[in-house]
């Protein structure tokens, strides 16, 4: 018999649980998003296109998505490293480091933003070191990326860590015994099985960064066309009671995020299949 | 084993119930002590002022009516506060940064009559303020007036007029100075304002945010700020670090107050809310107003040393120079208004 045939499922309660799932998903995600799209549609096509293609909107979207992408890439590298350290080595304070990784999850984002701005401002601890070299972090687009690295880090670590724990270190030892140098061990033995988890963490960190408002607002400078993020544009439109205009920017971000995340997930899936077959 | 578990569960449940009962009793006692509760939805820099005014009013109201009043405060950017009231926050009174924000509540929620500004003396503004410049000690960039903010190499900090009520006063004050300096030549005024905003390094969303950026993070050479906020910086951070530069001309900022009729009717709090707003015009409140660096309407009630801090300067009004908020708001801060036009990139 075909494993996915139309016969009775062995697990009971499919219809009930699917019903609950769809209802919950509708209440929490689908209906609000539909309302957002409906609101933005109330502006008419002309206004929609005008807002969507205005230089300020484009600059803000470029900054939000660019900084989130950069931050997710930084996190992919350092998050992997942190996960590796936490899994493979035992050192005093390991559990403490393990707990600290989760802090960006728990901390109010405003607190994170203010702390980062204080540290990276030209008179802050780190900012004072960078300032003589002409590197300004706080109140520049670079500051946006720094804030997004902060809030995105746990996503990568927590995605990669369990997979790495499952991966036996004997594999690496065997590769080394067979004469592979360290770089080759990382490249051909370690990375391929980790890649799906790494991509998941990357996508989560990226998605979180695109929509982040609370922490970024304190470190960004918020100058239009330079350091103004797209979520701030939404808030600005709300402040002038332009709910529909705010919805337009919201829908743009939604569509862009959805396309990017869907693309990454599809890539992820095809990659998994190719690993499975190979 | 199971019996033991059940017993433990029961014990825990009982403990939780007992705790909840204690909370309920405490909350009930606290409730019984207050007869009436008001919610004052205000803007950012009024925290210190209303904290003291509330205490004085509660004592006054107790003496007059025998009722114990409790007043809750909500602070935030003026525009954002107006929006929460429109969206349904049950404010009894609003005390915002500018009439335009209360107009918005009146037009969009219908909870305030459109002629609200005529209901209390002095355009419903029991205190005024103005916009001044705050610079670092010794004034290293030699900033004396609005014109100096447009010079190359001067770093300016101001909040975003789109999100901050105070920033709208800042913008109009600079505009009013430009109109006088350039003899009403609109193009030159626009260029002047554009030059100032090219010098803006950080555009925070609220007045408090800008103050922090300038005073605590050491960013920029000049902060465009509420007069009361500038004095507060001197008090908080020390007069040895900053100086207030009073420009030759500025704007008369009238932060207005009004009842939210729709809410006080429903909550039956009209009498006490009305008394609260009228209290702001009494000698006691006017003295507190001057103490907290706002300019009182009745100077005779304020202490002389408080009044001595306010420098005399030429003040224009929004009604006189800009035809009122109903005209100035869309013209300068609406979608595609003069502020938006500043940020059109060069083609």
Residue-wise pLDDT tens digits, B130-156: 999 999 999 999 999 999 999 999 999
The edge-to-edge listing of strands for the beta sheet with B257-259 is B69-74, B36-42, B93-95, B257-259
Kindly report the number of other CB atoms within 10 A of residue B218's CB atom. 14
Q: What percent of chain A has pLDDT over 70?
A: 96
Confidence tier at B20 by pLDDT (50, 70, 90): low
**Are the Cβ atoms of A55 and B213 closer than 8 angstroms?**
no
Confidence tier at A76 by pLDDT (50, 70, 90): very high
Which residues in chain B are contacts of A236 at CB distance < 8 A?
160, 162-163
CA atoms within 13 A on the CB side of B288: 20
pTM of the model: 0.79
Q: Return contacts of B211-216, CB within 8 angstroms, 24+ apart.
A: B213/A139, B213/B157, B214/B134, B214/B157, B215/B134, B215/B241, B215/B242, B216/A118
pLDDT the model gives residue A168 = 84
pLDDT the model gives residue A1 = 44
**Are the Cβ atoms of B219 and A139 closer than 8 angstroms?**
yes
Contacts A–B by Cβ distance under 8 A? 64
Distance of CA B157 to the CA centre of its chain: 18
Scored b (16 or more CB within 10 A) or e, A112-128 reads bbbbbbbbbbbebebbe
Kindly report the number of other CB atoms within 10 A of residue B301's CB atom. 17
pLDDT the model gives residue A220 = 87
pLDDT above 60: residue A3: no
Q: Rounded distance, CA A104 to CA A86, Å?
A: 17
- What are the distances in angstroms from CA B25 to CA A149, B30, B311? 47, 9, 53
Q: How far is B62 from chain A (nearest CA, A)?
A: 38
pLDDT the model gives residue B1 = 42
Residue bearing the bigger pLDDT, B343 or A116: A116
pLDDT the model gives residue A278 = 40
Q: How many residues does chain B have?
A: 347
- Rounded to an integer, the average pLDDT of B152-178 is 92
- Contacts for B63 with CB less than 8 Å, ≥ 6 apart: none
Mean pLDDT over each residue of chain A, to the nearest integer: 87
Which residues in chain A are contacts of B108 at CB distance < 8 A?
241
Task: For residue range B201-244, list pLDDT tens digits in order.
Answer: 999 888 888 998 999 888 899 999 999 999 999 988 888 999 99
Q: Rounded distance, CA B141 to CA B318, Å?
A: 30
pLDDT the model gives residue A187 = 85
- Which of B199, B217, B347 is the best substitution to test chain A (most A C-beta atoms within 10 A)? B217
Task: For residue range A138-191, list pLDDT tens digits in order.
Answer: 888 999 999 999 999 999 999 999 999 998 888 888 888 888 888 888 888 888
**CB A82, CB A205: distance < 8 Å:** no
Residues pairing with B37 in the sheet: B70
Which residues in chain B are contacts of A122 at CB distance < 8 A?
217-219
pLDDT the model gives residue B347 = 43
Which residues in chain A are contacts of B83 at CB distance < 8 A?
238-239, 241
**Are the Cβ atoms of A124 and B343 closer than 8 angstroms?**
no
Q: Rounded distance, CA B144 to CA B94, Å?
A: 36
- Rounded to an integer, the average pLDDT of A22-43 is 90
- Joined together, the tokens standing for residue A224 give 């239009």
Which residues in chain A are contacts of B211 at CB distance < 8 A?
none
Q: Which of residues 109-138 of A touch B (CB under 8 A)?
A: 117-118, 121-124, 138
A51 contacts chain B (CB < 8 A): no
Q: How far is B139 from chain A (nearest CA, A)?
A: 19
Q: Residue B226: which of B34, B35, B98, B55 has the closest Cα? A: B98
Q: Can you give the residue ranges of every domain in chain A?
A: 45-277
Most confident of A76-80, B44-48, B181-185: A76-80
Confidence tier at B25 by pLDDT (50, 70, 90): low
Task: For residue range A189-218, list pLDDT tens digits in order.
Answer: 888 889 889 998 999 999 999 989 989 988
Helix orientation angle between A141-166 and A55-88, rounded to the nearest 10 degrees: 40
In this complex, the residue of A56, A123, A223 whose CB is nearest that of residue B200 is A223
pLDDT above 60: residue B29: no
In this complex, the residue of A55, A121, A222 whose CB is nearest that of residue B203 is A222
**Are the Cβ atoms of B205 and A56 closer than 8 angstroms?**
no
Q: What percent of chain A has pLDDT over 90?
A: 38
Which residues in chain B are contacts of A121 at CB distance < 8 A?
217-219
Helix orientation angle between B78-86 and A230-239, rounded to the nearest 10 degrees: 70
Q: Rounded distance, CA A113 to CA B3, Å?
A: 52
**Are the Cβ atoms of A222 and B83 closer than 8 angstroms?**
no
A225 contacts chain B (CB < 8 A): yes
- Rounded to an integer, the average pLDDT of A24-48 is 89
Task: For residue range B50-93, list pLDDT tens digits in order.
Answer: 999 999 999 999 999 998 999 999 988 888 889 899 988 999 99
- Rounded to an integer, the average pLDDT of B304-310 is 91
- Joined together, the tokens standing for residue A99 give 């707990």
In this complex, the residue of A139, A242, A245 whose CB is nearest that of residue B201 is A139
**Are the Cβ atoms of B160 and A225 closer than 8 angstroms?**
no
**Are the Cβ atoms of A240 and B204 closer than 8 angstroms?**
no
DSSP characters for B169-198? HHHHHHHHHHHHHTTT-HHHHHHHHHHHHH
Q: Residue A239: which of B165, B96, B79, B102 has the closest Cα? A: B79
Task: For residue range A90-112, list pLDDT tens digits in order.
Answer: 899 899 999 999 888 888 888 99
pLDDT the model gives residue A171 = 85
pLDDT above 50: residue B23: yes
pLDDT above 80: residue B11: no
Task: For residue range B237-294, list pLDDT tens digits in order.
Answer: 888 999 999 999 999 999 999 999 999 999 999 999 999 999 999 999 999 999 999 9
In this complex, the residue of A118, A217, A241 whose CB is nearest that of residue B108 is A241
Q: Rounded distance, CA B225 to CA B203, Å?
A: 13
| DSSP secondary structure code for residue B156 in this structure | E
pLDDT above 90: residue B179: yes
pLDDT the model gives residue A180 = 85
CATH assignment of A45-277, among 2.102.10.10, 2.60.40.420, 1.10.1040.10, 1.10.3720.10: 1.10.3720.10
**Are the Cβ atoms of B219 and A224 closer than 8 angstroms?**
no
**Are the Cβ atoms of A221 and B202 closer than 8 angstroms?**
yes
A245 contacts chain B (CB < 8 A): yes
φ and ψ at residue A80, rounded to 5 degrees? -60, -45
**CB B269, CB B38: distance < 8 Å:** yes
- Joined together, the tokens standing for residue B129 give 């303020």
- What are the distances in angstroms from CA A100 to CA A105, A150, A155, A214? 10, 12, 13, 20
A261 membership: H or E segment, kind and range: helix A243-277
Helices assigned H by DSSP within B34-185: 47-65, 78-86, 99-109, 146-149, 165-181
Scored b (16 or more CB within 10 A) or e, B229-256 reads bbbbbbeeeeeeebbbbbbebbbbbbbb
């Amino acid at each position: 018999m075909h494993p996915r045939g139309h016969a009775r499922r062995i697990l009971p309660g499919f219809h009930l649980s699917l019903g609950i799932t769809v209802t919950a998903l509708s209440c929490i995600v689908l209906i609000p998003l539909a309302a957002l799209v409906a609101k933005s549609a109330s502006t008419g096509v002309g206004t929609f296109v005008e807002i969507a293609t205005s230089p300020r909107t484009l600059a803000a979207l470029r900054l939000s998505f660019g900084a989130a992408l950069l931050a997710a890439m930084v996190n992919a590298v350092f998050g992997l490293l942190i996960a590796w350290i936490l899994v493979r080595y035992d050192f005093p304070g390991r559990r403490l480091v393990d707990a600290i990784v989760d802090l960006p999850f728990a901390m109010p984002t405003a607190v994170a933003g203010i702390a980062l701005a204080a540290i990276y401002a030209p008179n802050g601890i780190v900012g004072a070191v960078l300032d003589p070299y002409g590197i300004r972090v706080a109140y520049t687009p670079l500051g946006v990326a720094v804030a997004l690295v902060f809030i995105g880090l746990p996503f990568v670590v927590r995605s990669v860590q369990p997979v790495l724990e499952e991966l036996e270190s004997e594999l690496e030892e065997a590769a080394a015994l067979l004469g592979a140098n360290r770089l080759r061990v990382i490249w051909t033995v370690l990375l391929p099985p980790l890649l799906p988890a790494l991509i998941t963490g990357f996508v989560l960190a990226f998605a979180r960064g695109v929509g982040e408002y609370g922490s970024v607002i304190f470190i960004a400078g918020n100058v239009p066309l330079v350091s103004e993020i797209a979520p701030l544009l939404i808030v600005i439109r709300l402040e002038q009671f332009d709910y529909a205009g705010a919805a337009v920017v919201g829908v743009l971000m939604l569509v862009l995020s959805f396309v990017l995340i869907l693309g990454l997930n599809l890539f992820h899936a095809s990659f998994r299949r190719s690993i499975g077959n190979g | 084993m199971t019996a033991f578990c059940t017993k433990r569960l029961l014990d825990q449940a009982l403990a939780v119930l007992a705790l909840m009962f204690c909370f309920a009793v405490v909350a009930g006692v606290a409730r019984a002590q207050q007869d009436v509760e008001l919610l004052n939805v205000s803007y950012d820099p009024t925290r210190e002022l209303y904290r003291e005014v509330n205490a004085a009013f509660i004592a006054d109201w107790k003496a007059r009516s025998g009722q114990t009043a409790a007043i809750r405060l909500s602070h935030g950017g003026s525009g954002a506060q107006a929006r929460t009231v429109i969206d349904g926050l049950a404010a009894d009174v609003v005390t915002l940064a500018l009439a335009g924000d209360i107009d918005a509540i009146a037009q969009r929620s219908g909870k305030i009559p459109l002629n609200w500004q005529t209901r209390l003396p002095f355009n419903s503004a029991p205190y005024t303020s103005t916009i001044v410049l705050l610079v670092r000690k010794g004034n290293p960039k030699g900033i004396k007036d609005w014109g100096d903010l447009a010079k190359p190499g001067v770093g300016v900090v101001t909040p975003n007029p789109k999100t901050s009520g105070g920033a709208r006063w800042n913008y109009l004050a600079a505009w009013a100075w430009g109109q006088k300096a350039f003899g009403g030549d609109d193009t030159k005024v626009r260029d002047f304002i554009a030059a100032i905003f090219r010098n803006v390094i950080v555009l925070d969303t609220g007045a408090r945010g800008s103050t922090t950026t300038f005073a605590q993070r050491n960013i920029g050479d000049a902060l465009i700020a509420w007069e009361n906020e500038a004095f507060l910086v001197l008090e908080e951070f020390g007069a040895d670090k900053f100086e207030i530069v009073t420009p030759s001309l500025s704007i008369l900022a009238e932060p207005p107050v009004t009842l939210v009729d729709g809410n006080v009717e429903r909550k039956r709090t009209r009498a006490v809310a009305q008394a609260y707003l009228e209290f702001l015009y009494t000698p006691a409140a006017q003295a507190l107003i001057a103490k907290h660096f706002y300019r009182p309407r009745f100077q005779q009630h304020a202490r002389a040393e408080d009044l001595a801090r306010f420098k005399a300067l030429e003040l224009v009004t929004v009604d006189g120079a800009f035809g009122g908020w109903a005209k100035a708001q869309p013209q300068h801060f609406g979608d595609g208004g003069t502020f938006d036009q500043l940020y059109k990139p060069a083609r």
